[in-house]
Chains A and B, each alone.
Chain A
Amino acid sequence: MKTMTKKPEILAPAGTLEKLKIAIRYGADAVYIGGNRFGLRSRAGNFSYDEMKEGVDFAKKHHAKVYVAANMVTHEGDEEGAGEFFRTLRDIGINAVIVSDPALIEICAIEAEGLPIHLSTQASATNYETLNFWQQEGLERVVLAREVSMEEIKEIRQNTDVEIEAFIHGAMCISYSGRCTLSNHMSNRDANRGGCSQSCRWKYDLFEIPRPGEQTSVLAGDPVEDFSMSAVDMSMIRHIPDLVENGVDSLKIEGRMKSIHYVSTVSNVYRKAIDTYCRDPENYIFKQEWENELWKVAQRELASGFYYGTPTENEQLFGKRRKIPAYAFVGQVLEYNAETQIATIQQRNNFGVGDVVEFYGPGFTHTYQTIEQLWDEEDVPIERAPKAMMIVKMKVNTPVKPFDIMRKRK
């Protein structure tokens, strides 16, 4: 029987300490977070050094790793303080930093020796010689550009032994990463320093200028559809075997701005699929329920990006969007009493008696039920749980466990 000698790492985004813990509990082998500076997500939750420390301690206990994204493209002066920043990260026990800017790479390599460096996708690495170059520079890993195909990954793997990380899930830049300054020019916001205003998702008019001063809209009259560059998101859930067989070392999930609901669900699904494959590759079959699960937290439709060919009009966001079922994260299980079948739940969104809810938890457990009985903390029966973060008790039909999440269709 064939067995997989090496399982790829599942790398999940964590915008906050709470998300970091959830991602790891739900199956991530590693998480990536942002520090207070040098990142690209100025608006995502960023970690203080104390929070990083707590995150690292938690991760260590669960045999997981923590990386810090410092993938800003620096302008004059931006690099100030980077040496100290990287040294602090190293001393806290961060496992690696994700960097694209050579100025920052150099500072990190010289001033924080011993802290592994991963080349960010922002550098758009698309061939094996580039990977060899960065390996020779001492980098531990290269995150591939999202434009690289599966065939290309196979060839890259055969021609380099630096670690390879590839995106498997989430939203994508329409441009080659780092090669878009639409935001800079249209909104005075620097895309490569965390200010991207998502101009690629806007609706544009497309036209010709046959003679000076004569703009002729090619959409004039009754435009069938505005021009847009916007595209669907990526999901590689159907292609786990290819990723593993071609030797990708780390499978990256996008979304440091995404919710707990998203992070837990996506980590959980990929954990399940990868474990299933690696346990018995020959008898592996893709399960539709995994994809259905990903749909519950999807923002847009899902496709396989550039892995199996250049995206066509079908992967662009034109026309009417398929309706995506929207689910809300309504509660998290704190405790469960097997004798009484009562679960203690922390409220995250309004729910109440009569609602149909779903519990899911680490290990890809799923149960469904209609809420029949509900009590507040003082055991007083209630109909609804309207207050943010209130603690309630609830009768459950099947056992649940702490950290299970309760969701409800909106």
Chain B
Amino acid sequence: MIEIIATAESVEQAKALVATDVDTLYIGEDAFGLRLPKSFSRNEITEIIKIAHEQNKQVSVAVNAIMHNDRIKTVVPYLQFLQEVGADSVTIGDPGVIHLLQTHGINLPFIYDAQTLVTSAKHINFWAKRGAVGAVLAREIMYEELKSIGTKVTVPVEVQVYGATCIHHSKRPLVENYYNYTKEHKPNTNALYISEPKKPETHYSIYEDINGTHVFNTNDINLFPHLDKLVEIGLTRWKLDGVFTRGKDYVEIARLFAKAKQMLLDDKWTQEQMEQLNEQLMQHHPKERTLDEGFFLKDPSEVQ
């Protein structure tokens, strides 16, 4: 069983994604979910769930924000709404939300997702014992570690195989503060980048929303060339993140992953095929953004 989970940026795109053989759509609203391509209204969420279910696909909703009191007060009605409209699962990173699910008897399977903090099998199993049906792994995990995690976890884990990686989440409005200080005109765009001192080739995306400021790694992740290795170690829930890859290109990339999945399942995956499809993937990846395999190929001893 391989599951492909993909974010969606519109009802239209959700339809297109469902048609590509993606298994699960990942959506939500900014007040409760982190770094989504689009903050959907409740009507849109309802509609997307309907569309997905008609095609026997699932919808997982992001409730993985770090909640302050104001949100923790409004999250129960939101969870009840999600239960009512038939969301198949939610991601949660704040233990307070797990507490509320349980104390309010809300029947929604949850996937533990505390982003950078989810780094070991034992950690994941802790949440599994408290009801989690899955977990989302941090992006900073290396192949050797993934291998070990795969053999020890008691619930399936998600690995990000494509898209941007958040590497810094601050509650401070860092961009706004900067422009307020310089009194320069703030460009009317969310497509801002920063580069490291003396490394002008780097381009870390940075933007703000109601959850604060988010900085993304200079390279987006692409594990397309390594999917067979993931299958080998039993990590077969693959997430695609479209926060910076928009429209049809993103749908095409999802289609390539769905195709890869089918070939892997049919035992038809070859190096040549992989290279050819990966080539196509790069064609659809935004030209101003670069790709690499993230921490996948690093040696655990490299990172101290």
Contact = CB atoms under 8 A, between A and B. Distances in A.
Interface in A160-189: 174-176, 178-182, 184-186, 188-189
A102 B195 contact: no
A188 B300 CA distance: 10
Nearest to A203: B197
B99 A76 contact: no
A33 to B, nearest CB: 22
Interface in B40-91: 66-69, 71-72
B119 A213 contact: no
A215 interface: yes
Contacts of B191: 208-209
Interface of B is mostly: mixed
B283 interface: no
Contact of B141 (A75, A128, A224): A75
Interface in A300-336: 306, 310-313, 316, 318-319
Interface stretch (B178-186, B229-237, B272-280): B178-186
A130 B193 contact: no
Contact of A313 (B95, B98, B119, B181): B181
Given A310-B172, A313-B177, A189 B68 contact: no
B99 A130 contact: yes
User: Which of A79, A181, A182, A203 has the most chain B CB atoms closer than 10 A to its own CB?
Assistant: A181
A147 B171 contact: yes
Given A102-B127, A181-B116, A206-B178, A200 B168 contact: yes
Contact of B100 (A129, A184, A213, A224): A129
B271 interface: no
A5 interface: no
B99 A136 contact: yes
Given A127-B69, A209-B203, A175 B181 contact: no
Contacts of A188: 298, 302-304
A186 B167 CA distance: 10
Interface in A189-207: 189-190, 192-193, 195, 200, 202-207
Nearest to B211: A176
A254 to B, nearest CB: 17
A54 interface: no
Contacts of A215: 193, 200, 203
Given A181-B140, A212-B287, A127 B115 contact: no
B195 A204 contact: yes
A102 B112 CA distance: 12
Nearest to A194: B304
B122 A180 contact: no
Contact of B168 (A175, A207, A310): A175
Nearest to A103: B122
A194 to B, nearest CB: 9
Nearest to B170: A175
A227 B180 CA distance: 12
Nearest to A136: B99
B120 A103 contact: yes
Given A76-B149, A207-B192, A127 B169 contact: no
B200 A313 contact: no
B193 A206 contact: yes
B123 interface: yes
B184 A184 contact: no
Contact of A134 (B95, B180, B215): B95
A101 interface: yes
B288 A306 contact: no
Contacts of A213: 287-288
Contacts of A75: 119-120, 141, 145, 300
Given A156-B69, A181-B140, A227 B194 contact: yes
B116 A155 contact: no
Given A74-B119, A180-B116, A316 B171 contact: no
B254 interface: no
Contact of A180 (B121, B167, B303): B167
Contact of A130 (B94, B139, B171, B206): B94
A242 interface: no
A73 B72 contact: no
Interface string A209-251: 1011101001000001101010100000000000000000000
A68 B22 CA distance: 47
A316 B217 contact: no
A163 to B, nearest CB: 17
A228 to B, nearest CB: 8
Interface in A63-81: 73-79
Contacts of B97: 129
Contacts of A179: 66, 115-117, 168-169
Contacts of A134: 95
9 contacts: A102-B127, A128-B69, A133-B98, A176-B169, A192-B117, A195-B303, A207-B195, A209-B203, A215-B203
By Cβ-Cβ distance, the 6 closest A-B pairs, closest first, are A129-B96, A212-B287, A130-B96, A103-B122, A102-B126, A133-B99
Interface of B: 66-69, 71-72, 94-100, 115-117, 119-123, 126-127, 138-141, 144-145, 148-149, 165, 167-175, 177-178, 180-184, 187, 189, 191-197, 200, 203-204, 206, 212-213, 215, 217-218, 286-288, 295, 298, 300, 302-304
Given A102-B127, A207-B192, 5 more contacts: A124-B66, A147-B171, A179-B117, A184-B295, A192-B119
